[in-house]
Amino acid sequence: MEVNFCSACGDAMETRDIDGTPRRACVSCSFVHWGHYSIGVGALVERGGKLLLVRRAQEPGRGYWTNPGGYAEQLEQLHETVQREVLEEAGIHAVVTGIAALRDQPRQIHNVYVAFSMDYVGGEPVPDGVEVDAAGFFSLEEMAEMHVAPFTRWLVDVA
């Protein structure tokens, strides 16, 4: 997707060589469009040897059990994003203890996904009823019998 107008001043953009790479740059101000990016986060919340999973009620992944997560808001720090997503999707309060995994997918919109290890603080699993229609803590044995998303299985394996 080509950017035609500057998001800083509204003037036209042109293609320039910047640091050896063709980039869209404003003809009037110093704005350079560096690319299209999205930052996603996911949670691996542990309580009593079990992991928090939510069942997707919407696409993508409707019907799959996944770890809670979502996308960062513009002014959020990533630890705030993952705590918000866990609370919104599952009604659980949890705190970040570390980074469990990182996925980097360069594509049309370059996506970086950070999975955080989190400790359970409080609350009982309650689905939000919009994005998620079920939530709970499950053992690895229980997860083996569930319709768990492949990416979530990968996260559990590497974490």
Regarding whether 49 and 19 lie in a shared domain, the answer is no
Regarding whether 113 and 91 lie in a shared domain, the answer is yes
Regarding whether 90 and 43 lie in a shared domain, the answer is yes
- Which pLDDT belongs to residue 2? 86
- What is the count of structural domains for the chain? 2
Regarding whether 13 and 61 lie in a shared domain, the answer is no
Q: What is the domain extent for residue 3?
A: 1-35
Rounded Cα distance between 1 and 62, Å, is 28
Kindly report the CATH number assigned to the domain that includes residue 152: 3.90.79.10
Kindly report the CATH number assigned to the domain that includes residue 31: 2.20.70
Q: How many CB atoms lie within 10 A of CB 47?
A: 16
Regarding whether 53 and 18 lie in a shared domain, the answer is no
- Which pLDDT belongs to residue 123? 98
Regarding whether 45 and 70 lie in a shared domain, the answer is yes
The residues near 91 (Cβ < 8 Å, ≥ 6 apart) are 123, 124, 125, 126, 127, 128, 135
- Which pLDDT belongs to residue 153? 97
Regarding whether 49 and 119 lie in a shared domain, the answer is yes
Query: Does residue 69 contact residue 82 with C-beta atoms inside 8 Å?
Result: yes
Regarding whether 125 and 78 lie in a shared domain, the answer is yes
Regarding whether 125 and 48 lie in a shared domain, the answer is yes
pLDDT by residue, tens only, the chain of 159 residues: 789 999 999 999 999 999 999 999 999 999 999 988 999 999 999 999 999 999 999 999 999 999 999 999 999 999 999 999 999 999 999 999 999 999 998 888 889 999 999 999 999 999 999 999 999 999 999 999 999 999 999 999 998
pTM for this entry? 0.86
Regarding whether 125 and 101 lie in a shared domain, the answer is yes
Rounded Cα distance between 159 and 156, Å, is 5
Regarding whether 77 and 142 lie in a shared domain, the answer is yes
Query: Does residue 16 contact residue 3 with C-beta atoms inside 8 Å?
Result: no
Regarding whether 55 and 132 lie in a shared domain, the answer is yes
